[in-house]
Amino acid sequence: MTTAPLLLWFRRDLRLDDLPMLTAALATGRPLIPVFVLDAETEALGAAPKWRLGLGIGAFAARLVAAGSRLVLRRGAALPVLQALVAETGAAGVMWSRLYDPASRKRDEAVKAELRAQGLLAESHAGHLLHEPWTVETGTGGFYRVYTPYWKAVRGRPVAEAVAAPAALPAPEVWPASEALEAWRLGAAMNRGAAIVARHVQVGEAPALSRLQRFLDGPVKEYREARDFPAVDACSGLSENLAYGEIGPRRIWHAGWAAMERGAAGAEHFLKELVWREFSYHLMFHTPEITTRNWKPEWDAFPWQGDGEAAERWRRGMTGEPFVDAAMREMYVTGRMHNRGRMIVASYLTKHLMTDWRIGQAWFEDCLVDWDPAANAMGWQWAAGSGPDAAPYFRIFNPATQVEKFDGGAAYRKRFIAELSRQAGAEALAFFDAVPRSWGLSAAQRYPMPMVDLAEGRERALAAYANRGLQA
Ligand code: FAD
């Protein structure tokens, strides 16, 4: 009698290195059938993350073939698709790595309950985070609402060693049929931006590991000081790979920790940033409403502006505020935005333009190849002032002084705003090819005047806060 196989349901964990569910599955000695399901939750991804996911799936499928396995692609609601595959293959059950956003949790709980009710094995495993969100508790047994105590709580906490990828995966005797990745057209909504952003992505496990190595071999030493300067290549770039699970956080943590022990100056700061990601998941797990509602309910009284011309100029990188526009254009050209840029554009939209943070959040969700439900929600609510551990309401970044401080030589502005140079570079020009033609933008246009007076915008926001009695 042949041993019944197990289905491995991959989602945002497209790797073989350090994947707890894979370690558990291998320990059963069963043949393994890796599966990716294009369900409604996955279909709902924004244009750029969906396109990037398609690249990730392609790279992962090739990786599996090299390991003597395959990736079976199926489209449909997760539960019936998995049930059909169980019926076709005689599988003993399904394993997967946990996700923590509200929609995935709801889906996964239902899948687990139904499969178990059928007498099948249905197991979820860690893998996306260093610490499962419910395992980190305050002294009184609650969850953390502020980052620094959270960091202190996890800094010395043991993190299990990363487990190396297996050389091969045990294959079933017969493979179930797979749909074709191209037929899914995951990049359809990217239109002409895809060819441009493609120059900047680094897809798959091997590139993710090289990225980590490259960062720890060099930039980490200056990371603490240089990470705020958007023209400097000072950060790891790993958010893109973490978003699809092409590298695991434990691998990064241990490599960063080893660098710290070797005396690399910025390594501890790098670990702290990785823990910001953890913290965002901790918050999303304990307060899922962070993704949709003001985390501080008193902010519901704030007169947020809806979508309209102001938000549209912001989206188009045509506010006339060079730091804001450079950062927005960076996003269309590279699929990413420097962290300092994210803070500036979010502060500008929510404070100077008083626009609802959810409009910015949704736009990032559509445009970032490193889109992450927890980090994005936390980042936006932090910038708006409505979130946990947020910037105090009166802290309104002034993009003009920020740009002098962090882009004094104008390298970043010139890199992405063609209108500011006599001889615009390739990336500045690529912006006009990346954005929709319907925006009607061209490099020959004049750079616009600032759409709001910064001092007036600031006063207007401060008055609105004061009128509503909002506190820091
Ligand atoms: P590095 O500086 O090399 O940091 C290493 C890792 O630490 C990152 O890969 C990331 O996983 C984590 N990290 C660093 N800074 C933060 C942070 N502030 N919050 C949470 N995790 C952090 N990050 C995303 O991954 N996806 C998003 O959708 C996202 N949206 C954001 C929206 C706003 C408004 C703001 C202010 C921040 C957002 N961030 C988001 C956080 C941060 O900007 C990015 O994680 C960072 O720029 C990624 O670049 P890197 O990988 O080179 O980071």
Return the bridge partners of 125, or none. 97
Query: Quick one: how far is CA 133 from the chain centroid?
Result: 17
Q: What is the ipTM of this complex?
A: 0.99
Residue set of the binding site for FAD: 223, 270, 370-372
Average pLDDT over residues 373-400: 90
Mean of pLDDT over the chain: 96
Tokens at 310, concatenated:
């102001």
Burial class from Cβ neighbours inside 10 Å (0-12, 13-18, 19+) for residue 408 reads: exposed
Angle at 53 between CA 80 and CA 292, to 5 degrees: 80
pLDDT at 390 over 80: no
Q: Tell which residue, 418, 468, 416, has the closest CA to residue 447.
A: 418
Q: Going from the N-terminus, what domains does the chain have, and what CATH number goes with each?
A: 1-126 (3.40.50.620), 129-161+195-286 (1.25.40.80), 297-471 (1.10.579.10)
Site to probe by mutation for ligand 1, drawn from 202, 277, 361 as the one with most ligand atoms within 8 Å of Cβ, is: 277
Does any ligand 1 atom lie closer than 6 A to the CB of residue 275? Answer: no
Cα(249) to centroid of ligand 1, in Å? 13
> Which residue puts its alpha carbon closest to atom 30 of ligand 1?
376
- The tens digit of pLDDT for each residue in 129-171 reads 999 999 999 999 999 999 999 999 999 999 999 999 999 999 9
Ligand 1 midpoint to CA 239 (Å):
6
Question: Is residue 379 within 6 Å of ligand 1 at its C-beta?
Answer: yes
- Atom number, ligand 1, closest to the C-alpha of residue 365: 28
* Distances in whole angstroms, Cα of residue 309 to Cα of each of 73, 355, 363: 42, 11, 15
Task: Count helices and strands (H / E) in the chain.
Answer: 22, 5
Q: Which residue is listed with tokens 């704030």?
A: 302
| Cα separation values, 113 from 107, 259, 458, Å | 10, 43, 51
Ligand 1 atom having least distance to the Cα of 346: 34
DSSP, collapsed to helix, strand or coil, labels residue 126 as coil
Q: Which of 162-166, 231-235, 301-305 has the lowest mean pLDDT?
A: 301-305
Q: Using the atom order of ligand 1, give the atom closest to the CA of residue 239.
A: 9
Q: 3-state DSSP call for residue 454? A: helix
Please work out, in degrees rounded to the nearest 5, the angle formed at the alpha carbon of residue 399 by the alpha carbons of 456 and 225.
150
Cα-to-centroid distance, 43 and ligand 1 (Å): 24
Whether 6 and 121 have beta carbons less than 8 Å apart is answered as: yes
Q: Which residue has a Cα nearest atom 31 of ligand 1?
A: 376
Annotated binding site: 223, 270, 370-372
Of 82-91, 222-231, 390-399, which gets the smallest average pLDDT?
390-399
**Do 271 and 216 meet the contact criterion of CB atoms below 8 Å apart?**
no
Q: Are 94 and 122 in contact (CB under 8 A)?
A: yes
The type of residue at 307 is: D
Place of tokens 């202190």: 152
Task: State in Å: Cα 446 to ligand 1 middle.
Answer: 33
